[in-house]
A and B are shown apart, each in its own frame.
Chain A
C-alpha cells in the first residue's frame, strides 16, 4: 500500500491484469450494463452471407477465418462495430460491415452467440511439446483471468478454446504490433506485449486444443 506514493510509482503486470480482471468480472455479473439482446431469428437470416467463410453453424473450415459460434454477444458486436468504422482493419470484413445497421449487429451478435461452440479441436495432431509450452505461457501471463479458466470467454473477452490456431496466432501478432487496437482498456495490447513469435505459436496451439 505504501509504495503507491513512491515517486516512481510502479505497478506490476500481474497487478494490472488483476485489476482488469475485476472489471471484466464486474461486467459479466451485471448484464444490465448492456443493451437488450438482439433478435436471434433475424440474426440467422442476416447471417446467410457470413456462412461461406465462417461455416454453416459458425464453425469455420477456412484457414484464417475465425469460428464465431458460441462467442460472446458483446465481443462479437464490438468487433463488427470496429470493422464497420475501420478501427479494425480487414479488407473483407470492412467491406461486409459497412452495410450492417446497428440492429443487424445486435441480431448477428445474438445469433452467433446462441450457436453451440466447436466441440472438437481444429488441430488433428497436436504437438504435445508446443501445447505444454503454450499452457505454461498462458498460466504465467494470467490469460485466464479475463478469458476464464476454461477459455470460453466472458463479456468483452472472447472465447479462445478450440479457436483456429492460425487465426489465434494472427490475432496475437496483430495486437502485439498495434495494428489491431483492443477494446476499451486496451487489455490485449498490454497482454500480448513482449510475446515472441515462438511464444505466439505455442499459445495458439495450446488454446486451439483446450479440451
Chain B
C-alpha cells in the first residue's frame, strides 16, 4: 500500500517535470493568447482582502476543469425527507441513526451548554442556533444573526464563545439568555479578516485555552503572515501561543483524552488531480511543528510550484492520509460509555465530501483506530450513504459531538440538520 502510493507520486512528479518544461515554451510562443486572460496571482494583499469570487479556482488544471463547489438546497431539508434519506445510511451492526433536529440552515460546529443546550454554528447563514429540550419537546432557536461565518463555537464557565472570522466573542450566561443574548465581549481579535478559509473551529483544553486554526486565503501559495498556523488562545487573558505552522485549511480537531495532545484534520490543496493530494489527520506532539504547507502535501508530495527546493522530510508527516478530496472537518475521540469497548479512544471524523473531483467521495463518517503516539493507524468507514450520485449529495456531515449518554451527534450543513447515532446490543 505504502509502496504503491510512492510509485504514484513519482509518476506524478515525472509528469510535472514535463509540464514545467512545456510551460516556458508556451509563454514565449503565445503572447496573443494572453489577451483577455484572467490572472489568479494570489501573492498580493489585495487578493487576500478581496479575493475574486472564484478564488478557489486558482491554479486550475486541464483535467480538473469544470469542477466547482455544488450549490446546496435553498432551505433546510424537511423532516420527512430527512427520515427517508437516513434509511439509506449504512452503519455497523447494532448502530442506529435518527434525526435529532432539523431546520438549522448550514449547521456547523456543535457544543453543549452546561444545562444541556446544544449550540450550533453555521456557515454562510450567519446564524448561531440553540437546540433546547422543553417539556420533552426539542426546539430550535436562532439566537444570533448577522455574524460573518460563525462556524466555530465552544462553551465554558456559563459563556458561549463564538468565532466569526476575526473575532473571538464571549456571550456570558448564555443558557439563561437564549431569547435575548447579551452583547458579546471581544476576547481576542488579533486575527486577519480574510474570509476565504478564514472560517474556524474551536477546541478548548482542560485549562480553558482554545485551539484555533488559521487557513490561508487561497488554494495554494506563500501565505500572508499570521495564517497557515494553529494558535492556542488563553480565553481568560487573550494571550496566544503558536502551536503549529505549515497548516492549510483545518476545520476540525480534538484533544486526545490519553495524552492531552491536540490532533487536527487538514484539507489539502485542490487542482492537482482527482486522487492527489490526500487530506490528512495530524498530531501535534511538539509545539511549533511544521506540517508542510505549501511546500509538501500528504507527507510525500512536494508541491509542483511551491516546493521551492524543500524536501518532504523537513516536515512533520500526517498520522494518516485520509484520502483525496474527502474533506475531513469536525472530529472527536470517542470516550463515551455507549459504544462497544473497541471504540474507546477511536477518532471519528466527519467527511464533508468533494467538489474538486469528478466522482465525489467523502460525505461519510470515518473511524480511525490509532495509538496515542500516532503509531499503527487503521482507518475504516463508520457511516455512509449521503452520496447519492456522481456529483450529488443528500447531506454532508461536517461535525461530530458526543452526548452525555455516549451517543454521537452529527451536524450536516447541506441538509441543515443534526443526526443522532446510538448503539444497542
On A, residues with C-beta under 8 Å from B are 1-16, 18-20, 22-23, 26-27, 30, 32-36, 74, 77-78, 80-81, 85-86, 102-103, 105-106, 109, 155-156, 182-186, 189-190
In the complex the two chains form, is B74's CB within 8 Å of A186's CB?
no
In the complex the two chains form, is B73's CB within 8 Å of A35's CB?
yes
Contact A11:B77 (CB < 8 A) given known A5-B20, A5-B304, A30-B391: no
Question: What CA separation (Å) do A23 and B72 show in the bound complex?
Answer: 12
Contact A186:B71 (CB < 8 A) given known A1-B19, A3-B23, A10-B39: no
Residue numbers in A under 8 Å from B23 (CB-CB): 2-3, 5-6
In the complex the two chains form, is B392's CB within 8 Å of A33's CB?
yes
In the complex the two chains form, is B125's CB within 8 Å of A11's CB?
no
Contact A11:B38 (CB < 8 A) given known A2-B19, A16-B54, A23-B70: yes
Given known contacts A4-B19, A12-B36, A16-B54, what 12 new A-B pairs fall within 8 Å (CB)?
A2-B19, A2-B26, A3-B23, A5-B16, A10-B34, A10-B38, A19-B68, A33-B392, A103-B78, A156-B71, A182-B53, A190-B54
Instruction: Check if B374 is an interface residue, CB within 8 A of chain A.
Output: no
CB distance from B107 to the nearest CB of A (A): 14
Instruction: Return 21 A-B CB contacts under 8 Å, by A number.
Output: A1-B19, A1-B63, A2-B25, A4-B60, A6-B23, A6-B27, A9-B40, A9-B58, A13-B37, A19-B57, A19-B66, A20-B68, A22-B65, A22-B67, A23-B67, A35-B73, A36-B78, A74-B73, A74-B74, A81-B74, A190-B54
Question: What CA separation (Å) do A77 and B57 show in the bound complex?
Answer: 26
CB distance from B39 to the nearest CB of A (A): 6
Residue numbers in B under 8 Å from A33 (CB-CB): 70, 72-73, 388-389, 392-393
CB distance from B54 to the nearest CB of A (A): 6
In the complex the two chains form, is A185's CB within 8 Å of B38's CB?
no
In the complex the two chains form, is A35's CB within 8 Å of B77's CB?
yes
Give the nearest-CB partner of A79 in chain B: B74
Contact A77:B54 (CB < 8 A) given known A13-B36, A19-B60, A26-B391: no
Closest A-B pairs by Cβ, 5 of them: A186-B53, A2-B22, A22-B66, A77-B74, A184-B71
In the complex the two chains form, is A32's CB within 8 Å of B62's CB?
no
Residue numbers in A under 8 Å from B40 (CB-CB): 9-11
In the complex the two chains form, is A78's CB within 8 Å of B19's CB?
no
CB distance from B217 to the nearest CB of A (A): 16
Residue numbers in B under 8 Å from A183 (CB-CB): 71
Main secondary structure of the interface of A (DSSP, over half): helix
Residue numbers in B under 8 Å from A189 (CB-CB): 53
Residue numbers in A under 8 Å from B389 (CB-CB): 30, 32-33
Instruction: Check if B216 is an interface residue, CB within 8 A of chain A.
Output: no
In the complex the two chains form, is A8's CB within 8 Å of B54's CB?
no
Residue numbers in B under 8 Å from A8 (CB-CB): 27, 39, 41
Question: What CA separation (Å) do A148 and B387 show in the bound complex?
Answer: 28
Question: What CA separation (Å) do A184 and B392 show in the bound complex?
Answer: 16
Residue numbers in A under 8 Å from B62 (CB-CB): 1, 4
CB distance from A26 to the nearest CB of B (A): 6
Contact A11:B60 (CB < 8 A) given known A4-B19, A16-B54: yes
Give the nearest-CB partner of A86 in chain B: B146
CB-contact partner of A27 in B22, B27, B71, under 8 A = B71
Residue numbers in B under 8 Å from A156 (CB-CB): 71
Question: What CA separation (Å) do A94 and B69 show in the bound complex?
Answer: 27
CB distance from B134 to the nearest CB of A (A): 20
CB distance from A38 to the nearest CB of B (A): 9
Residue numbers in A under 8 Å from B19 (CB-CB): 1-2, 4-5
CB-contact partner of A190 in B20, B53, B77, under 8 A = B53
Give the nearest-CB partner of A80 in chain B: B74
In the complex the two chains form, is A186's CB within 8 Å of B54's CB?
yes
In the complex the two chains form, is A3's CB within 8 Å of B26's CB?
yes
Most central of A34, A109, A182 by chain B CB within 10 Å: A34
Q: For chain B, residues 85 to 131, give those with C-beta under 8 angstroms from any C-beta of chain A.
A: 103, 125-126
CB distance from B299 to the nearest CB of A (A): 22
CB-contact partner of A12 in B37, B67, B392, under 8 A = B37
Question: What CA separation (Å) do A77 and B66 show in the bound complex?
Answer: 25
Residue numbers in A under 8 Å from B57 (CB-CB): 11, 16, 19
CB distance from B251 to the nearest CB of A (A): 19
Instruction: Check if B261 is an interface residue, CB within 8 A of chain A.
Output: no
Instruction: Check if B81 is an interface residue, CB within 8 A of chain A.
Output: yes
In the complex the two chains form, is B61's CB within 8 Å of A102's CB?
no
Residue numbers in A under 8 Å from B76 (CB-CB): 102
Instruction: Check if B344 is an interface residue, CB within 8 A of chain A.
Output: no
Residue numbers in B under 8 Å from A78 (CB-CB): 71, 74
In the complex the two chains form, is A106's CB within 8 Å of B75's CB?
yes
Instruction: Check if B305 is an interface residue, CB within 8 A of chain A.
Output: yes
Residue numbers in B under 8 Å from A109 (CB-CB): 74
Residue numbers in B under 8 Å from A10 (CB-CB): 34, 37-40
CB distance from B99 to the nearest CB of A (A): 14
Instruction: Check if B59 is an interface residue, CB within 8 A of chain A.
Output: yes
In the complex the two chains form, is B66's CB within 8 Å of A35's CB?
no
In the complex the two chains form, is A185's CB within 8 Å of B65's CB?
no
CB distance from A188 to the nearest CB of B (A): 9
In the complex the two chains form, is B59's CB within 8 Å of A9's CB?
yes
Question: What CA separation (Å) do A78 and B125 show in the bound complex?
Answer: 12
CB distance from A4 to the nearest CB of B (A): 5
